[in-house]
Structure 1
Amino acid sequence: MLRTVLPSARAAAVLRLLMAYQRRLPGEHPSPCPQCEAPHLRRIEAAMAEGREIQLVLPAFPAKSPNRAKTLSHLPDMAERVALEFLQSLCDRIERVHPPGARFVICSDGRVFGDLIGVPDADITAYRRELLAMIDQIGAERLDVFDLDDVDLGLSHDAMREHLVAHYAQPVESVRAEVKAGGQALSIYRGMTRFLFEDQLGPDYEGSRAAALREARRRAYGVIQRSRAWGALLAERFADAVRLSIHPQPCGAEKLGVLLMETADSWLTPWHGVAVVVDGRAELAKRADAERLGATLVRRGGRPSHYVLSRITG
């Protein structure tokens, strides 16, 4: 006789699938605890009780870093493809536990802060177009893309960003005060500053490193402010969804940090790096690091796609 699996047990099984790829803060305990699980378990159980898809909201895939020492071009490549295939495979596994399945809503946030990260709106538009084509090519039926354009404000891109800040953002002075107080806000600020600093130091940069660092520190507050505003809009728009993040999150946070690809750098993302295939497995690295190791560039469809690295055995 088959034993009936209680909804709470199935919800826990789904959460385990997600937390197997949890992106944790340095020094944090290695295993999830009840406090880590609680915010997400409630939403999963609610979806199961209503017999509906589990909606997973992930702010991610904004645009490629403009620093070509890190990335190959302004368009998605194999790094994004591997990450998208992973998200679809995760939905496939959830469906075996919960037949209505799950759906990732990729909330592309490039439009939110493109002017602050040095990426033109035209590149953000091209990135989204190619990302949607890639989702279609790999048959990822459980992946949707939502961005600021989909809010349908009927405004220019600059006006969209102004509207977002005016209606959803906290004052930037408040962000500065949080960072000054330390803790998680300071950790996020340092990580964001690092990204902005590295992205500015591309092959064509002619200024000093000190000037680049000052500019990165200044812009980091605005990126954090708008990222939070985007999060507030998404929480309103997708109120019942499980909320995910590509950044490490503290225990008990409303968002769950998730890894999208194998990488030695817990802050690196597909849009800040390249895919390097080593022994048949794709890993994430910065372009300059891949080339320094002697990796071979592979092109697909007339465009640079990824690198292949043969391990040296002695």
Structure 2
Amino acid sequence: MRPPRDAAETRVHDIAQRLARHQRCDRSGTLAPALSDPLMARLRDFVQAGEAVHMVLPAFPAKSPSRRKVLGTLPDLAEALSLDALERLCARIAAIHPAGARLTICSDGHVFGPTIGVSDPVIDQYQAGIKDMIARRGLRHLDTFCLLDGEHLHGTAAPTPEQRRAALMMRHGHPLADIRSELLRTDGGLRQLRGIIRFMAEDDWRPDDPRSATQIQRHAKSRAYQVIQHSLAWGNFLQQRFPRSLRLSIHPQAHGSDKLGIHMLPTADAWLTPWHAVAVDLGDRTVLMKRHQAENQGARLVHVEGRPSHYRVWPDQRRRVLQDRAAA
């Protein structure tokens, strides 16, 4: 049922305020005063039509291959609490808008697999774990979508992930040379590139690695361009697949962007995600940290149902951990 125009506009602004509270800060540490015009237009379209607000979030690809960052290859408390946060966001929108809200997690693991050094079977296990968490935790506002669900990407009935990646790049990708020149043209593009290079270098580093830091950085840079190339292709495909939906991102976004960068859990690093980190229970709240940071600060590993789940900081350690986070 369509709400009256004045009531619809009030709902639009109330929902926009809810979404804005979850923003990832830009480089300056400040938040945009409101959603961008493109996001407001999409939000208004759903509300005025009396339809559930639909959001898409490219996220939850696979755990980082670096054991300095994460506990293993399967989802753990970091993912569980992040999914809970997305569910709460949808529920808060539904409390404003009777037609409700729905969020589709567009897992991009198979999009990046070879480039980030994670095999397709490991990605399959991670994504199955995410689906299981959503079901077991009763997160009724969330659903999932991945590269293997895009039936019209390839003509065969059951193409392999490699075939899907090739079809994605052929139909929605752009040449690396064009992407390089575009990234280097703007401050936002350079920040994105540097952030991904940092992540790739961290994921690639091993204690026994014979390569120099310069060689690791150079290799990370070449793969970072490929990650961005595949990410843009995936974004183009999602725009075609979900043309009306609000696009969310796990990365900070520039003011005026047609995407909204959002936080799921508190973190001192605006680029840190549940799949590049561990959950650390501070007693009054849970935050994300890289595994080696949690261990260096004396946090203790907690197992749940026989599997590593998260870290816990005891009361006598909490002040030091908070001071270290504030200085990060």
The answer to whether the Cα contact below 8 Å between 2:36 and 2:258 also exists between their aligned partners in 1 is no
Find 2:202's aligned residue among 181, 198, 202: 198
Shift of 1:141: 0.7
Find 1:255's aligned residue among 259, 267, 279: 259
**What's 1:26 paired with?**
27
**What's 1:99 paired with?**
98
Equivalent AA in structure 2 for residue 269 of structure 1:
T
Q: SS where residue 119 of structure 1 aligns? A: coil
- Measured at CA, do residues 31 and 227 of structure 1 come closer, stay the same or move farther in structure 2, by a change above 3 Å? closer
Shift of 1:10: 0.6
The answer to whether the Cα contact below 8 Å between 1:91 and 1:101 also exists between their aligned partners in 2 is yes
The answer to whether the Cα contact below 8 Å between 2:205 and 2:216 also exists between their aligned partners in 1 is yes
Distance 2:133 2:245 in 1: 24
- Measured at CA, do residues 31 and 156 of structure 1 come closer, stay the same or move farther in structure 2, by a change above 3 Å? closer
- Measured at CA, do residues 250 and 276 of structure 1 come closer, stay the same or move farther in structure 2, by a change above 3 Å? same
Distance 1:76 1:165 in 2: 28
Distance 1:18 1:141 in 2: 19
Count of aligned pairs: 310
Shift of 1:170: 1.1
Q: How does 1:145-294 map to 2 (within 5 A)?
A: 145-152=144-151, 153=154, 154-203=158-207, 205-294=209-298
The answer to whether the Cα contact below 8 Å between 2:79 and 2:274 also exists between their aligned partners in 1 is yes
Equivalent AA in structure 2 for residue 132 of structure 1:
K
**What's 2:9 paired with?**
8
- Measured at CA, do residues 75 and 40 of structure 1 come closer, stay the same or move farther in structure 2, by a change above 3 Å? same
Equivalent AA in structure 1 for residue 7 of structure 2:
L
Equivalent AA in structure 2 for residue 11 of structure 1:
V
Shift of 1:51: 1.3
Structure 1 unaligned regions, length at least 5: none
Superposition TM-score, scaled by structure 2 size: 0.91
Distance 1:203 1:284 in 2: 23
**What's 2:326 paired with?**
none
Distance 2:159 2:177 in 1: 27
**Which of structure 1's runs of 4+ aligned residues deviate more than 6 A?**
none
The answer to whether the Cα contact below 8 Å between 1:170 and 1:225 also exists between their aligned partners in 2 is yes
**What's 1:115 paired with?**
114
- Measured at CA, do residues 263 and 29 of structure 1 come closer, stay the same or move farther in structure 2, by a change above 3 Å? closer
The answer to whether the Cα contact below 8 Å between 1:60 and 1:107 also exists between their aligned partners in 2 is yes
Shift of 1:206: 4.3
The answer to whether the Cα contact below 8 Å between 1:67 and 1:203 also exists between their aligned partners in 2 is no
Distance 2:283 2:46 in 1: 40
Distance 1:203 1:300 in 2: 29
Deviates further, 67-76 or 177-186: 177-186
Give deviations 1:69-105, integer Å, cap 9, x for gaps: 0000010000000000000011111111001111110
CA RMSD of aligned residues (A): 1.7
Equivalent AA in structure 2 for residue 151 of structure 1:
G
Q: SS where residue 234 of structure 1 aligns? A: helix
Shift of 1:180: 2.6
The answer to whether the Cα contact below 8 Å between 1:55 and 1:102 also exists between their aligned partners in 2 is yes
The answer to whether the Cα contact below 8 Å between 2:278 and 2:289 also exists between their aligned partners in 1 is yes
Shift of 1:259: 0.6
Distance 1:135 1:106 in 2: 11
Q: SS where residue 58 of structure 1 aligns? A: strand
Deviates further, 89-98 or 155-164: 155-164
**What's 2:324 paired with?**
none
Superposition TM-score, scaled by structure 1 size: 0.95
- Measured at CA, do residues 171 and 182 of structure 1 come closer, stay the same or move farther in structure 2, by a change above 3 Å? same
